[in-house]
Chains A and B, each alone.
Chain A
Amino acid sequence: MTDTDERTSEIQEVERIIVRFAGDSGDGMQLAGDRFTAASAMFGNDLATLPEYPAEIRAPAGTLAGVSAFQVHIADHDISTPGDSPSVLVAMNPAALMGELPKLEEHGTIIINTDAFDERNLQKAGYESNPLEDDSLAGYSVISAAMTDMTKEACKELGVKPRDAERSKNFFALGMVSWLYSRPTDPTVDWIQSKFKGKDLVIAANEAAFRAGNVFAENADLWASRRIVRPAVLPAGTYTNINGNTALSWGLLAASKQAGLPLFLGSYPITPASDILHELAKHRNFGVRTFQAEDEIAAVGAALGASYGGHIGLTTTSGPGLALKSETIGLAVSLEIPLVIVDVQRGGPSTGLPTKTEASDLLMAFYGRHGEAPLPVVCANTPADCFFAAIEATRIAVEYRTPVILLSDGYLGNGTEPWKLPNVDDLPEIHVEFLEGPNHVNEDGEEEFLPYLRDDTLSRPWILPGTTGLAHRVGGIEKDITGNISYDPANHEYMVRTRAAHIAKIADSIPEIEPKGDADGDIVVVGWGSTYGPITAAVGRMRRKGAKVAHIHLRHLNPFPPNLGELLKSFDQVIVPEMNLGQLARLIRADFLVDAKSISKITGQPFTPAELVERIEEAVND
């Protein structure tokens, strides 16, 4: 059962494989996928994952609606997406086979738990005849295993009840897949032992199932199917496999450190953002105060109150929550104090597709408030990049005293990638300044304090309650430089224009953006957010085929990088793939009068590189 088996030489080496684990929600496929990923990470592969689970906590067992899947792409080279079509499908029941088979590549491998293919399950999945018995799977290489029975058998001697034993069948499947793809077994066994510490029967059952699956694969004469993906050559360093929500949470901890200010998170549970609340709640020793509010509005309200008091006020949510927060964000625009708003986007409108990804809140982030209420918008581009995006959002909020919206999405939040840990001493700095005394001298030479007197960046001072001599009132009604109410028409126009200029001026602190690929080519593909992986892969493939293509991927959406307009105008073709109906394309057209062509996908799933290549080529030739 080790990689040094004398027959190792027979194992066919491949550059990559894409495995999709699929089964009923209760079958433990997320766990199996996650463990396969972890073992592969330790083995040194580059990887990307895509968990997909139903919106219902307990969808009816055995149905298509209840299928939970986890796709992992492992490679011996740098990759950026969970891949195109899976090369291997693990189908734990008929519904998983029915639902997921269309995604499998031609002549792909299917690993099937035959025990689940009884009449009832076949019927629930909508099969008229048993695909194991008709020849509907003829084009594939099918590996059948009575996983449930064999798991029970393996656990028989352990004193585990058969019903409990059955639950370990995901480890049997994992054992098989681990052998087939030459994964080391130790990491999984170690993990089982530490994860279920104190539950000896569970450890025994899972371990027995895992080993039984491994041995079964070895003995079932599956040598011809065995593959190995060699470790990727990655830059030296310490790595961890990170998902976007965790990276984002850690980025906020880092930002709090860099700014020297405590973090206050007001949040209301919402998929797929709740994990940020869970993660930050663990870190009270950083001075983090997490506050689970009564609703989305209270969550952002409390964050704003904390910001007013000198904490980094933060709220995390998804689209429906952002909609609810918009009035309070408008108040933050008017008060001009820091506030970080994280939107982990999901399919909308309304409840939409809560567990599926989409990037359709861009225009809401830009414009989703009443009145002229501009604010900076930044986005994260890969799971690990969420860390740096969080620091940048906080930097802008604190240094410019403004609410900032940080856009992530469900795919980034739940997807993972190996991340070379940054050196904490090299993280960007965040400068904080509180006003401590009068900030102006009037015509009579007297010192005075003007709450809305702006500095060179057009930002007003951050003034902590408690500061001697600076007691003042602020509010949502239009005010003048003193903070007091002003209904003067000219003052209102001045304030509206100044608030807009203030946000525009943030561009001074944004580096010029440099295209990747062929900067001198005719075609540029422009993206933002989680399309980074698919666009990188697609542009790479096109260039290998000889096309001259550049790739611009934005972190800063409002304001845009200062050179973006000029840069886009230097290309003949500007193609904008997005997981919405063309929101960035619209902004680019409006801002720069560039004929940007939109490529849209709104299926709740990320682009695959292959479809993107096809769609980009179509758009170019259009």
Chain B
Amino acid sequence: MTDVELTTKKDWVSDQEVRWCPGCGDYGILTAIQMLLPEFGNRREDTVFISGIGCAARFPYYMNTYGIHSIHGRSPAIASGLALARRDLDVWVVGGDGDMLSIGGNHLIHALRRNINLTILLFNNRIYGLTKGQYSPTSEEGKVTKSSPMGSIDHPFNPISLALGAEASFVARTHDLDRKHMMEMMRKAHEHKGSGLVEIYQNCNVFNNGAYNEITKRDARAEMIIELRHGEPVRFGAEGEHGVVIDRGVASIVEVADVGLDALVVHNESEPDPSVAFALSRLALDMSSPTPMGVFREVERPEYGHELDGQVARARAEKGEGDLESVLRSQHTWQVD
């Protein structure tokens, strides 16, 4: 990838008309990515976006890169194959909470545990948008939707907890109203070797409008967003007056004045054991509780594609380039004259 021409945002914008509902949070995410990509200095042609089905999954059509709009839930699997076959490419996976946590939940956790080099953007709007408003695997209990007129009795996934449970090597959360923070999380996920998962709180203004208002609105953030900063005590509030302590594996919110700064947990995203990150992820109890944002975990683990290519190289070093003739004769043979 030498001699790459510098690009600007508009180089990454495709000629397709964007078809999300006016006001949809997806627009802000699209802009953030299109602004971010020129930073990396990659060619558009070496970049691939792969999605499944859902509103978010229209994403590839709007990117002037290679892309596949595939089938519901399967994007992590398809992207895994591509990323393993072509380690020269920059492969992104984009999808919503229904796509990646319900029908495709299995593929997501396995891509994460394998640590395949993918940057995965999970647009979490806690609702099915494209099918017009059914509850999703991240909808809160009791949610009244078209398919749950008496309230949902499904217990929701916490995507960050799920990813940490799968021992994902990079896990972060951001939201669609803070472009700078989104770009920072995506940048870090992209720099990370292996699977990088970014959960993005995204507003679906048609079917779940304002779901995150209590957390992500500008005037709510100081009290409601617990910004995770590597190496720093976990605290929030306009004056940093609130903090997080962890006691016997359980995180809770305290007043710094009551416990003292030293009692707060110091965030260490590279801690190999995911337990503390998991405890922090449990703080996002609902959509009206203080919620951690930022990088929960970034650890180094062998990247699957690197290991796989390593085995290919080792096999070649040990046995030489594959020779069909000798394979055909590898079992017992006999001669008929």
Q: Which residues of B contact A262 (CB under 8 A)?
A: 85
Q: Which residues of A contact B318 (CB under 8 A)?
A: 285
Q: Is A545 part of the binding interface, using a Cβ–Cβ cutoff of 8 Å?
A: no
Stretch at the interface among B69-77, B201-209, B244-252: B69-77
**Are B320 and A42 closer than 8 Å at their CB atoms?**
no
Number of interface residues of B (CB under 8 A): 60
**Are A293 and B77 closer than 8 Å at their CB atoms?**
yes
Closest to A257 in B: B324
**Are A289 and B308 closer than 8 Å at their CB atoms?**
yes
Choose among A284, A295, A473 the residue that contacts B61 (Cβ–Cβ < 8 A).
Answer: A473
User: Interface digits, B310-337 against A, CB 8 Å rule (1 contact, 0 not)?
Assistant: 0110111011111011011101111111
**Are A331 and B322 closer than 8 Å at their CB atoms?**
no
**Are A297 and B74 closer than 8 Å at their CB atoms?**
yes
**Are B328 and A485 closer than 8 Å at their CB atoms?**
no
Q: Report how far A250 CA is from B61 CA in the complex, Å.
A: 40
Shortest C-beta distance, B204 to chain A (Å), equals 21
Interface of A is mostly: mixed
Stretch at the interface among A22-30, A104-112, A463-471, A606-614: A463-471
Choose among A284, A302, A467, A485 the residue that contacts B77 (Cβ–Cβ < 8 A).
Answer: A302
**Are B107 and A298 closer than 8 Å at their CB atoms?**
yes
**Are B333 and A239 closer than 8 Å at their CB atoms?**
yes
Q: Is B129 part of the binding interface, using a Cβ–Cβ cutoff of 8 Å?
A: no
Choose among A254, A331, A465 the residue that contacts B324 (Cβ–Cβ < 8 A).
Answer: A254
Choose among B48, B110, B322 the residue that contacts A465 (Cβ–Cβ < 8 A).
Answer: B48
Q: Report how far A289 CA is from B61 CA in the complex, Å.
A: 30
Q: Is A91 part of the binding interface, using a Cβ–Cβ cutoff of 8 Å?
A: no
Q: Is B81 part of the binding interface, using a Cβ–Cβ cutoff of 8 Å?
A: yes
Q: Report how far A608 CA is from B258 CA in the complex, Å.
A: 86
Stretch at the interface among A64-72, A135-143, A230-238: A230-238
**Are B325 and A473 closer than 8 Å at their CB atoms?**
no
**Are B69 and A240 closer than 8 Å at their CB atoms?**
no
Knowing A42-B332, A238-B333, A294-B110, say if A305 contacts B61 (CB, 8 Å). no
Q: Is A515 part of the binding interface, using a Cβ–Cβ cutoff of 8 Å?
A: no
Q: Which residues of A contact B50 (CB under 8 A)?
A: 305
User: Interface digits, A35-70 against B, CB 8 Å rule (1 contact, 0 not)?
Assistant: 000100110100000000000000000000000000
Q: Is B213 part of the binding interface, using a Cβ–Cβ cutoff of 8 Å?
A: no
Q: Is A474 part of the binding interface, using a Cβ–Cβ cutoff of 8 Å?
A: yes
User: Interface digits, A319-333 against B, CB 8 Å rule (1 contact, 0 not)?
Assistant: 000000001101100
Q: Is A484 part of the binding interface, using a Cβ–Cβ cutoff of 8 Å?
A: yes
Choose among A238, A254, A306 the residue that contacts B329 (Cβ–Cβ < 8 A).
Answer: A238
**Are B336 and A235 closer than 8 Å at their CB atoms?**
yes
Q: Report how far A323 CA is from B203 CA in the complex, Å.
A: 37
Q: Report how far A467 CA is from B86 CA in the complex, Å.
A: 13
User: Interface digits, A285-314 against B, CB 8 Å rule (1 contact, 0 not)?
Assistant: 111110101110111011111111111010
Shortest C-beta distance, B118 to chain A (Å), equals 11
**Are A466 and B86 closer than 8 Å at their CB atoms?**
yes
Shortest C-beta distance, A246 to chain B (Å), equals 8
Interface centre among B43, B61, B311, B324, by most A CB within 10 Å?
Answer: B324
Q: Is B289 part of the binding interface, using a Cβ–Cβ cutoff of 8 Å?
A: no
Closest to B317 in A: A285
Choose among B61, B82, B106, B336 the residue that contacts A298 (Cβ–Cβ < 8 A).
Answer: B106
Q: Which residues of A contact B85 (CB under 8 A)?
A: 262, 264, 289, 305-306, 309-311, 313
**Are A305 and B71 closer than 8 Å at their CB atoms?**
no
Q: Is B147 part of the binding interface, using a Cβ–Cβ cutoff of 8 Å?
A: no
Q: Is B124 part of the binding interface, using a Cβ–Cβ cutoff of 8 Å?
A: no
Choose among A257, A327, A474 the residue that contacts B69 (Cβ–Cβ < 8 A).
Answer: A474
Q: Report how far A313 CA is from B335 CA in the complex, Å.
A: 36
Choose among B44, B106, B324, B337 the residue that contacts A424 (Cβ–Cβ < 8 A).
Answer: B324
Number of interface residues of A (CB under 8 A): 71
**Are A240 and B329 closer than 8 Å at their CB atoms?**
yes
**Are A285 and B324 closer than 8 Å at their CB atoms?**
no
Knowing A285-B320, A286-B322, A471-B65, say if A465 contacts B312 (CB, 8 Å). no
Choose among B43, B45, B84 the residue that contacts A306 (Cβ–Cβ < 8 A).
Answer: B84
Q: Which residues of B contact A234 (CB under 8 A)?
A: 336
Q: Report how far A569 CA is from B207 CA in the complex, Å.
A: 61
Choose among A286, A331, A421, A471 the residue that contacts B70 (Cβ–Cβ < 8 A).
Answer: A331
User: Interface digits, B64-95 against A, CB 8 Å rule (1 contact, 0 not)?
Assistant: 11111111001011111111111011000000
Q: Report how far A475 CA is from B337 CA in the complex, Å.
A: 56
Q: Is A410 part of the binding interface, using a Cβ–Cβ cutoff of 8 Å?
A: no
Interface residues of A in 218-244 (CB under 8 A from B): 234-242
Q: Is A266 part of the binding interface, using a Cβ–Cβ cutoff of 8 Å?
A: yes
**Are B70 and A475 closer than 8 Å at their CB atoms?**
yes
Q: Is A590 part of the binding interface, using a Cβ–Cβ cutoff of 8 Å?
A: no
Interface residues of A in 119-150 (CB under 8 A from B): none
Choose among B66, B79, B327 the residue that contacts A473 (Cβ–Cβ < 8 A).
Answer: B66
Q: Which residues of B contact A246 (CB under 8 A)?
A: 331
Knowing A285-B320, A308-B68, A466-B86, say if A291 contacts B81 (CB, 8 Å). yes
Q: Report how far A593 CA is from B324 CA in the complex, Å.
A: 45
Shortest C-beta distance, A249 to chain B (Å), equals 9
Shortest C-beta distance, B238 to chain A (Å), equals 45
**Are B44 and A308 closer than 8 Å at their CB atoms?**
no
User: Interface digits, B41-52 against A, CB 8 Å rule (1 contact, 0 not)?
Assistant: 001111010100
Q: Is A283 part of the binding interface, using a Cβ–Cβ cutoff of 8 Å?
A: yes
Q: Report how far A306 CA is from B328 CA in the complex, Å.
A: 26
Q: Is B159 part of the binding interface, using a Cβ–Cβ cutoff of 8 Å?
A: no
Shortest C-beta distance, A297 to chain B (Å), equals 6
Knowing A238-B333, A421-B333, A465-B89, say if A287 contacts B107 (CB, 8 Å). no
Choose among B69, B77, B336 the residue that contacts A475 (Cβ–Cβ < 8 A).
Answer: B69
Closest to A421 in B: B328
Q: Report how far A304 CA is from B79 CA in the complex, Å.
A: 9
**Are B45 and A466 closer than 8 Å at their CB atoms?**
yes
Choose among B78, B88, B324 the residue that contacts A301 (Cβ–Cβ < 8 A).
Answer: B78
Closest to A473 in B: B67
Knowing A298-B110, A301-B78, A305-B85, say if A284 contacts B315 (CB, 8 Å). yes
Shortest C-beta distance, B46 to chain A (Å), equals 5
Q: Report how far A472 CA is from B322 CA in the complex, Å.
A: 35
Q: Which residues of A contact B86 (CB under 8 A)?
A: 309-310, 465-466
Choose among A241, A266, A294, A466 the residue that contacts B46 (Cβ–Cβ < 8 A).
Answer: A466
Interface residues of A in 455-487 (CB under 8 A from B): 465-477, 484-485
Shortest C-beta distance, A464 to chain B (Å), equals 8
Q: Is A253 part of the binding interface, using a Cβ–Cβ cutoff of 8 Å?
A: yes
Q: Which residues of B contact A254 (CB under 8 A)?
A: 324
Q: Which residues of A contact B70 (CB under 8 A)?
A: 301, 331, 475-476
User: Interface digits, B183-219 against A, CB 8 Å rule (1 contact, 0 not)?
Assistant: 0000000000000000000000000000000000000
Choose among A240, A257, A298, A471 the residue that contacts B66 (Cβ–Cβ < 8 A).
Answer: A471
Closest to B109 in A: A294
Q: Is B14 part of the binding interface, using a Cβ–Cβ cutoff of 8 Å?
A: yes
Q: Is A335 part of the binding interface, using a Cβ–Cβ cutoff of 8 Å?
A: yes
Q: Is B60 part of the binding interface, using a Cβ–Cβ cutoff of 8 Å?
A: yes
**Are A424 and B328 closer than 8 Å at their CB atoms?**
yes
Interface residues of B in 279-325 (CB under 8 A from A): 308, 311-312, 314-316, 318-322, 324-325
Q: Report how far A354 CA is from B20 CA in the complex, Å.
A: 47
Knowing A236-B336, A236-B337, A471-B64, say if A313 contacts B331 (CB, 8 Å). no
Q: Is B131 part of the binding interface, using a Cβ–Cβ cutoff of 8 Å?
A: no
21 contacts between A and B (CB under 8 A): A238-B334, A239-B336, A250-B327, A262-B85, A284-B315, A285-B312, A285-B320, A286-B322, A289-B308, A297-B77, A303-B81, A304-B81, A307-B81, A327-B74, A331-B70, A422-B328, A424-B328, A465-B82, A465-B86, A471-B64, A474-B69
Using CB atoms and an 8 Å cutoff, list the residues of chain A in contact with chain B: 38, 41-42, 44, 234-242, 246, 250, 253-254, 257, 262, 264, 266, 283-289, 291, 293-295, 297-299, 301-311, 313, 327-328, 330-331, 335, 420-422, 424, 465-477, 484-485
Given contacts A264-B81, A309-B85, 5 further A-B contacts (CB under 8 A): A250-B324, A287-B312, A287-B322, A298-B74, A299-B77
Closest 4 CB pairs of A and B: A305-B81, A475-B69, A286-B322, A302-B81
